Amino acid sequence: MVPLPWRLTKPRSREAWSTWVADKNAAREAYAEQVRAARFAAGAQAYRAYQEWDVRLQAAKDEAERTGVPVRLPAAPDFGEGMIFLNVDDPRIDGYVEPPEPQGLTPEQKQRRALADRLASILTEHAPDDERAAYMVGGLSLPAKVGYTLSLQKALIEAPLVAEAAEPGSVKVASDRGGVIIRLHGPAWSLVFRYSPYPSPVLFVTDDMPEHARRVDTDADWEPEIRAAIDAAVRELARYSLGGDKHVYRPMSSYRARSA
């Protein structure tokens, strides 16, 4: 805990001025020392928590290797504000192979999912400042106002729920020259967005307009809701990644058996 700043009353006579300056400098130095000590103590506490978690993590992995049974790893302590881990390609299962498309999809759903996958590939393969990617995404999307489209408002509400309990293959996290790109397939919508290095663009493809995506990150009126939905979805995905409370570790023996 950082101590409160110090405060001294200014002198009312010249005779007290030199003493006041000395007291002020001493108080400033004492306050700085308290801040350094508080930060050091907080850092030491966080490091001890990390060491304890690492011991439990390695013990769980060793047990999984010994028994050959996948195990859910212990959740990590708080790594700090802004620190997050995401599994690439699939945020749930290590070594996951993308399954085929679900059975029973309507033509609109197939078209919508295919367009979302294409947009995700474009964003992943091209740098954020690549004009070719901007041109391709612009040709496949239209700017949209969330307030005028009920399907987009519903998708913003459902996005974190889909990230938390989606079927295998409905969630994909990719990382390449374009940064970290996340694609979610919902029941009647697909969401594609760049999360890092900055959250743009944010694209929705819906069953009522599967031939074009709707770009919503340009809607300033709904910016707080859009960012909140994205952050909530990413937090749910992080729960399945290293340090998350739902991360599953698969022993190496299971991969060797799969490749044999």
**Per-residue pLDDT at 256:** 47
Sheet holding 141-143, edge to edge: 141-143, 209-215, 202-206, 189-196, 179-185, 171-176
- Tell me 148's DSSP state: G
More confident residue, 215 or 54: 215
**Kind and range of the H or E element at 143?**
strand 141-143
d(CA 125, CA 140): 16
Q: Dump pLDDT digits (tens) for 18-50.
A: 777 777 888 888 888 888 888 888 777 777 877
Q: Dump pLDDT digits (tens) for 138-177.
A: 999 999 999 999 999 999 999 998 888 767 678 888 888 8
**Per-residue pLDDT at 82:** 53
Model confidence band, residue 222 (pLDDT cutoffs 50, 70, 90):
very high
Sign of CA dihedral 116, 118, 123, 125: positive
Contact indicator for 133, 206 with CB cutoff of 8 Å: no
Tokens matching residue 218 = 């340009």
Of 107-111, 188-192, 250-254, the one with minimum mean pLDDT is 250-254
Cis peptide before 197 (omega within 30 of 0): yes
**Per-residue pLDDT at 137:** 93
In three state form, how does the secondary structure of 177-227 look? Answer: CCEEEEEEECCCEEEEEEEECCCCCEEEEECCEEEEEEECCCCHHHHHHHH
d(CA 133, CA 230): 22
d(CA 112, CA 212): 8
> What is the average pLDDT across 231-243?
81
Q: Is the pLDDT reported for residue 189 higher than 50?
A: yes
**Per-residue pLDDT at 260:** 46
